[in-house]
Each structure stands twice: as C-alpha cells, then as structure tokens.
Amino acid sequence: MRFPEQIAVDAIRCAAVSAAAFAIGWPLGGGKRTPLRWLCLLAPLLMPSLLISYAAAPLALSLSGAALVAFYSVLLALKLAPLATLAHDFFPPLLSPEAAHCARLLPGRSAADRVWFAVRGAGPAPWVTLGILFLLTFADFELASLLAVKTWAVMLFDAHAGGLAIAESLRRAAWPTAIELAVLLALLWWNARSERVSHTCRRSRDDSSLTPGQRRERAQSARSTIVLGVLIAGLPLARIAWLAAPGFSSLRMQEIFAADLLVSLGFATGASLGAWLLVRRLPAWCALPGLLGALVLALLILVTIQLPPLRWLRDTPIPLLAVETLLLAPIALLIRTLLTAHAPRESLHLARMAGSRRLIWDLALQPRAGALALLFTLAYFELTAASILAPIGLTPVFARLHNLAHYGQTAVLSAMLLAAVAAPAALLALTLCTARLYARRDVR
C-alpha cells in the first residue's frame, strides 16, 4: 500500500479505535475512588507499549493481514480506554442529573432536539476526550512496530532509519501532521463555543446515599476496571516474569544495560522538571505541540537542528530533552490545572501558620510530588523520540531494548525488560519515603 493511502486507512481505523476506547472507558467513570481502582486505571496507561508488544509478539506472529490489524487495534483500544474513564471522573457533564430528568419529561420534542440537547449538555469533555484518544491512536508507533503492523508511523520511521533524506521524511509527515492539526483546531473550536468548562472534580457520593441499582452499577464498574487492568498490565507482566526467571542471574554482567538505565533516568528527570516549569511559566498554548506525537515532533526538531546556527546541538542531549519536555507538557498542564482547582487553600494556610511539615506535605507537596512522579514515569518509558534523537553514547534503555526485541524473546532480554520497568518504581518509592521521613520531623 502506498504511503498516502496508508494515511487515509489509518485515519479511518484510528477513528474507530478511539471510539471503541471511549465506549469502553467512559461508562466506567464515576466509580468509588479506591487505591485498587486507581491502580487498575493507571497501570494500562503507564505500561510501556514495548512490554505489551513484547509479551504479545508470539501471538501476533501467528496472525497476518486484517487479523493482525484487528489484534493490534484491540490492544490499543484497551490500553487507552482508562483515559476515558479518568476524563469522566474528573470532568463531569455540564448538565446535572436532575436537569436531564426534567428534559426527558418535556413533551413534544423531536428526536433531533433530544440528541442535540444531550450533546450540548455533555459539554466539551467527551469530545475533547475523543479527540485526544484519536491523536494518541493515530500517532502510535511503539505498539505497532514490534507487532509488525504497517501503519504510517512505522512506514515513515523505517524509511527514515533506512536513509531517507530528512526533507523527504518531513514531506511525508506533512499529511499526518495536517490531520492532527485539524483535530486540534476542532477541539479548540468546540471548547471555545461551549458555555463553560467545569474544572470541578466529581466527588464520589457516600455509599449510604446510593440506590441498590447505583450500587450494582458501581460494583460492575469496579469489576470491569479490574479486568481491564489485568488484561493490559497483569498478563504481560506475568508472561515476561515467567520468561525472565532464568535470566536474572546474568543481569550483573550487562554493563551497557546499567549505563542505559542511568541515561534514561537522567532524561526522565530533566524532561519532567522541564515540562512542569514550562506550563508554569509560559501560556497554555505552548503545550499544544505535544499532542502532535513523538514521531512528528522528533522529525521537526531534527530538521531544526540541521540549520547552520543550530548544528552544534546535533550531538547533544538537548534535542531529545526538548521533545520529551514538549510531549509531557499537555499532561503537565492538565495535572496542574486540576491541582490548582482543588487546592485546599484555607487548610494549607493554617498548616503553614502552625509550621507543620506533615500537614504541608499532605496538603501541598505530596500531590505535586505525585504529579512529577507521573511525568517522570512517562518520560522514562518514551521510545519513539529516543530512537531518533538519542546522541551517540547516550542511548536510553528502552530504545536499545526495542532494537534487541526484534531478534526474538530470550531470558536475558526479558529480565532486562522487567528490570527496566522496575527501576523508576524503585527510585520513586525511595524518593517518596525519604520525603515522608523529612515531613514527619515536625518543626513544632
């Protein structure tokens, strides 16, 4: 299939995949916020695509053609579905349940009027969520690459890695970029014409105030969330752990692997701090380029550093750090908006007056530490930009593991994958524990 035709096919397929992810995830919103539910929602989103594709590779190899594309699409929809659930949790519809009930009682309304009223009452949240799901699906490279699914991103990356001139690579990326920009402009237009955007977090009602039907609905939502987390995160981890058992003893001899881990941790630290500072110091529109996807952004940066005044940047970490920072900026902006909207200002003021480190940590510092930890994890697992822009001698660990994974599954490679996934978790746990110990030393 020619490249322009592949773009059109991918756009249609990604629209269907994003709609499926929305249909799966949106109805699961509004459940009780328990630690288990948070874990099952965040695990699929944070699970590296490389780990999922590596675990699913044997099954994918037995498929071909439409069956392989369908398998890949199902994996992608299940991985992104929790994003719709979280959007439903944090951005409730503009129309209250009572107003919706009153609208249903009005006589003489046509079907078109009812549909349009429901669309306007839902507000921008569902449409923005659908648009973001489409952008994430359309720009996916990591999951498709190891599963050998020919998408426009895989075709463009392979051509570029095979020696295609950067000008030609950028020309081929023009149409996908135009599609992504069109979606972004549509989202901005819809959001601007909406009556208001609610930044109020939907609070879970007390179980005692729920009807029996609502309790059953919440229990079904909890079970579905657990199933989703097990399918996308639990099963791949279990399979790779089984494959890796004989290979852990060889990890201590992998000196290059240890160096790559440190490189990834360094890039993740710089990108997460950079994204947080970016959304604090600059206007919100500066975060929009991050929604174009890693491949497009990396190619744009690659062209930029070919200019004579900027050629000295080519062999430095700055281009990769810039792309990862831009990719994290939309997420950092969303998290910061939520934290600002729900900051306990009165309680925090009293805690500062009392000089209580523990209360200041619980009310102000811990949420921000959690936000930075999330950004750090996403930057650490980034693969596409790292494969294009990593300077010589500073290869992030997932870029190297991705290349090795194309040669098949081995015990040592599986052990390295698990160790690479566990490294940021161990580092973040140690950092948070140290911060908690500091917070417990109350100055009063």
Smallest CA-to-CA distance from 151 within 333, 7, 319 is with: 7
Confidence at residue 215, expressed as pLDDT on a 0 to 100 scale: 64
Phi-psi region of 382 (alpha: psi -120 to 50; beta: other; left: phi over 0): beta
At 72 the pLDDT is 94
Compute the distance between CA of residue 101 and CA of residue 280 in angstroms, rounded to an integer: 41
Q: With contact defined as beta carbons under 8 Å apart, do 348 and 364 qualify?
A: yes
Q: Go through 197-220 and write b for each residue having 16 or more CB atoms within 10 A of its CB, e for each that does not.
A: ebeeeeeeeeeeeeeeeeeeebee
Q: pLDDT by residue for the chain (444 residues), tens digit each?
A: 788 889 999 999 999 999 999 999 988 877 777 788 888 888 888 889 889 989 988 888 888 889 999 999 999 999 999 999 988 888 766 666 667 677 777 777 777 777 777 767 777 788 888 999 999 999 898 899 888 899 999 999 888 888 888 888 888 888 999 999 999 888 877 766 654 444 444 444 445 455 565 566 666 777 788 888 888 888 888 999 999 988 888 887 788 888 999 999 999 999 999 999 998 888 888 888 888 888 889 989 988 888 888 888 888 999 999 999 999 999 998 888 888 877 777 777 677 777 767 777 777 777 888 889 999 999 999 998 998 999 988 999 999 999 888 888 889 999 999 999 988 888 888 887 776 666 665 544
Helix (H) or strand (E) holding 288: none
What gap in Å lies between CA 40 and CA 299, rounded to an integer?
34
CB atoms within 10 A of CB 124: 22
Task: Provide the pLDDT for residue 441.
Answer: 58
DSSP line for 205-248: PPGGGS-HHHHHHHHHHHHHHHHHHIIIIIHHHHHHHHHHGGGG
Tokens 């944090």: give the residue: 90
Tokens of 204: 């879970």
Q: Is-contact 328 378, C-beta < 8 A?
A: yes
Per-residue model confidence (pLDDT) at position 280: 87
Take residue 61 and report the two structure tokens written for it.
């190899």
DSSP string computed for 306-321? TSGGGGGGTTSSHHHH
- CB atoms closer than 10 angstroms to residue 370: 14
Predicted local distance difference test score (pLDDT) of residue 266: 93
pLDDT of 327 reads: 93
The pLDDT of residue 213 is 59
Residue type at position 29: G
DSSP calls for 146-203: HTT---HHHHHHHHHHTT--HHHHHHHTHHHHHHHHHHHHHHHHHHHHSS----PPPP
pTM: 0.83
Residue 69: what pLDDT?
Answer: 93
Look at residue 89 in the predicted model and tell me its pLDDT.
83
| Residue 319, Cβ density class (10 Å: 0-12 exposed, 13-18 middle, ≥19 buried) | buried
Q: What is the dihedral of CA 406, 410, 411, 416, to 10 degrees?
A: -20
Residue type, 413: L
